[in-house]
Amino acid sequence: MTATNLQAPGERTASLFTPLQRLLQRIEPRDPFFARLLLRLIPGQYPFERDVMLYGRTLLHIPAL
């Protein structure tokens, strides 16, 4: 049984990336140079689903976008 099966229906789990996601969502780039820099640093999509594992245990799950 995986950890996602243990949560209640409709319950959201917090991710390690949640604070970073909230920070990035608040950014309103007004400078064209800064906007282009953000576009280069943040990929538009990450099509590959990954599991980061250590000693046979999943530490981090990155879902496909």
Q: Which of 63, 62, 65, 61 has its CA nearest to residue 3?
A: 61
Mean predicted lDDT score pLDDT of the chain:
76
What is the identity of the amino acid at 17?
A: F
Q: What is the pLDDT of residue 11?
A: 52
pTM: 0.40
Q: What is the per-residue pLDDT across 15-33, written as a single tens digit (0 to 9) for each?
A: 777 888 888 889 888 999 9
CA distance linking residue 45 with residue 31, whole number of Å: 23
pLDDT at 33: 94
Q: How many residues does the chain have?
A: 65
pLDDT of residue 1: 44
Whole-number Å distance between alpha carbons of 18 and 8:
20
> Is the confidence at residue 39, as pLDDT, over 60?
yes
According to DSSP H, which parts of 1-65 are helical? Answer: 18-26, 32-41
pLDDT band at 47 (very low <50, low <70, confident <90, very high): low
